Amino acid sequence: MAEKVIIIGSGPAGWAAAIYAARAELRPLVFEGAITEENRLAGTLPLGQLALTTEVENYPGFPAGNLAAYLDDSIESNKRQMMPPHAGHGVSGPELMELMRQQAVNFGTRVVTDDVVEVDLDVHPFRLTASSGEVHETMAVIVATGARANYLGLESEERFKNRGVSACAVCDGALPRFRNKPLVVVGGGDSAVEEADYLGKFASTVYMVHRRDQLRASKIMAQRAMDNPKIEILWNRVVDEVLGSESDGVTGARLKSTVGKEDLRIEAAGFFLAIGHTPNTAFLRGKLEMNEKGYVKWTTPMRTHTSVEGVFAAGDVADDYYRQAITAAGTGCMAALDAERWLAAKGL
Ligand SMILES: Cc1cc2nc3c(=O)[nH]c(=O)nc-3n(C[C@H](O)[C@H](O)[C@H](O)COP(=O)(O)OP(=O)(O)OC[C@H]3O[C@@H](n4cnc5c(N)ncnc54)[C@H](O)[C@@H]3O)c2cc1C
């Protein structure tokens, strides 16, 4: 029998959608992604991007404090044992995501730990194929497969993730370890300037490392970078290595010249990537309307409808602008309500 709604994805958008859909008695089925080496390397394991970070200080409802007793009580013990010890700082990414998942399960959400690899949206009920080969039919679909931050791919960058290397200035910039210290931003587009500008509120200096002699950013944004006394642009440079130590995390970077000059070594306490994101939409290509960067298009303002009736999108997979857990969860809620109302209007 066809499901009422299948949710694909397991970040804040997916679980928020599941909580609302379950409480509306739609018995949602969530594909949370597969636990594979390929997904580990891509940063797309179940529970999404937030599970890749340590402290989450901007998600409402989790001020600093000791959550350990609450976590012991609310998360299944086999999962709880796998989580790092709670350090009394508020909530960590993995903790927050396990709490969201548990809340969805408590209301009757069923979870399949597998990737959806193919969708047929030309038939109704829609047909979704998992990587196991299983085919599931469903009246409505909520796509919440998120996106992944692009990294340079350096071994040293991987080593210092969460210890000074970050792909989200808004998320991490205010952490004490970055205050009044020099920081590096890699990239030259509008979002790199935005990140550098934001980090300028906390840092002593922000070095923007850019491979060319001109920013890719729009004129107005490029001017903003030039006018900010905290930002120093290091032109014609690429990162060769993120420098650091086991005890201190990131301490600097070694930069190569793209115009034949000598290597440059700079001191920095943080290393922020601003070289774009890749939406997890490869399996939807040609099936749903997308923008030029591959993000799913919302077709109605302030709604989560997509180009296919009965298919809704939530979170970073359709939003390359805000990219926050709270906005992903917000649109997850909207997608569940949109799906519920659409199913009711169709009498399904
Ligand atoms: C290092 C880092 C730190 C961050 N820190 C913060 C922070 O402090 N505060 C904040 O608000 N935001 C933070 N963010 C941003 C935040 O994590 C994202 O905005 C948010 O997770 C997006 O949620 P989402 O539900 O759209 O999707 P995602 O979190 O991207 O999760 C989607 C998941 O769905 C699953 N999936 C993908 N494809 C498929 C498929 N085909 N089938 C089945 N499952 C699939 C995968 O497991 C994927 O990871 C951070 C991001 C990063 C990378």
> Tokens for 153?
């791919």
Indicate which residue of 114, 115, 168, 190 is catalytic. 168
**pLDDT score of 278 more than 90:** yes
Look at ligand 1, atom 19, and give the residue with the nearest C-alpha. Answer: 324
Rounded Cα gap, residues 338 and 304, in angstroms: 7
Asked whether the CA dihedral 276, 281, 286, 287 is positive or negative, the reply is negative
pLDDT band at 130 (very low <50, low <70, confident <90, very high): very high
Look at ligand 1, atom 1, and give the residue with the nearest C-alpha. Answer: 53
**Residue 334 Cβ < 6 Å to ligand 1:** no
Annotation says 333 is catalytic: no
Mind listing the pLDDT tens digit for each residue in 36-82? 999 988 889 999 999 988 889 899 999 988 888 899 999 999 998 88
Mind listing the pLDDT tens digit for each residue in 295-347? 999 999 999 999 999 999 999 999 999 999 999 999 999 999 999 999 999 99
Non-local CB neighbours of 340 within 8 Å, separated by 6+ positions: 20, 21, 24, 26
**Residue 31 Cβ < 6 Å to ligand 1:** yes
**Residue 6 Cβ < 6 Å to ligand 1:** no
Mind listing the pLDDT tens digit for each residue in 133-178? 999 999 999 999 999 999 999 999 999 998 999 999 988 999 999 9
Look at ligand 1, atom 6, and give the residue with the nearest C-alpha. Answer: 171
Cα 328 to ligand 1 centroid, rounded to whole Å: 8
Mind listing the pLDDT tens digit for each residue in 197-255? 999 999 999 999 999 999 999 999 999 999 999 999 999 999 999 999 999 999 999 99
Q: Say if CB 185 and CB 192 are below 8 A apart.
A: yes
Cα 226 to ligand 1 centroid, rounded to whole Å: 32
Q: How far apart are the first and last CA of the chain?
A: 13
Cα 41 to ligand 1 centroid, rounded to whole Å: 14
What proportions of the chain, in percent to the nearest 5, are helix, strand and coil?
30, 25, 45
**pLDDT score of 20 more than 90:** yes
Rounded Cα gap, residues 148 and 51, in angstroms: 12
Q: Angle formed by the axes of helices 12-23 and 325-346, to 10°?
A: 40
Cα 43 to ligand 1 centroid, rounded to whole Å: 9
Mind listing the pLDDT tens digit for each residue in 4-19? 999 999 999 999 999 9
Q: Say if CB 253 and CB 209 are below 8 A apart.
A: yes
